[in-house]
A and B are shown apart, each in its own frame.
Chain A
Amino acid sequence: MSDRTSLTIASGLGTLQEKVAGALKLAKQLGATQAEAHANFGTGFSVNVRMREVETLRHQRDQGLSITVWLGHRKGTASTSDLRPDALEESVRKACALAKYGAEDSASGLADADRLATAIPDLGLYHPWAIDPARAIELATACEAAALDADPRVTNSEGASVSTSEGLRVYGNSHGFLAGYPESDHSYTCSVVATGNGAMETDYEYAVARSAADLPSPESVGAEAGRRTAARLGGIKPETRVAPVLFPARVARGLIGHLLGAISGGALYRKSTFLVDALGKPVFAGRVTIDEQPHLLKGLNSAPFDNEGVATSDRRLVDAGVLRGYLLGSYYARKLGMQTTGNAGGAHNLVVHSTAGGFDDLVRQMGTGLIIADLMGSGINPVTGDYSRGASGFWVENGEIRHPVTEVTIAGNLKEMYQGILAIGSDVDRRGGVITGSILVDRMTIAGS
Chain B
Amino acid sequence: MRKVYLDNAATTPLLSEVREAMMPYLGDIFGNPSSLHDWGDGARDAIGHARTQVAQLINADPDEIIFTGSGTESNNFAVKGLALAQQAKGKHVVISAIEHFSVLHSARTLEKWGFEVSEVPVDIHGVVDPDDVLQQIRKDTILVSIMHANGEMGTIEPIQEIARITRERKIPFHTDAVATVGTTPVNVAELGVDALSLAGNQFYGPKGVGALWIRKGVRIMPLLDGGIQEEGRRAGTENVPAIVGLGKAAELAKTHMADRIKRLTPLRDHLLKELPGRIEHVVVTGHPQHRLPGHASFCVEFIEGESMLMLLNSKGIAVSSGSACTSRALKASHVLIAMGLSHEIAQGSILFTLGIDNTNEDIDYVLETMPPIVDRLRQMSPLYAKFSKTVKGGK
B is bound to A = no
User: Which positions in A face B, CB cutoff 8 Å?
Assistant: none
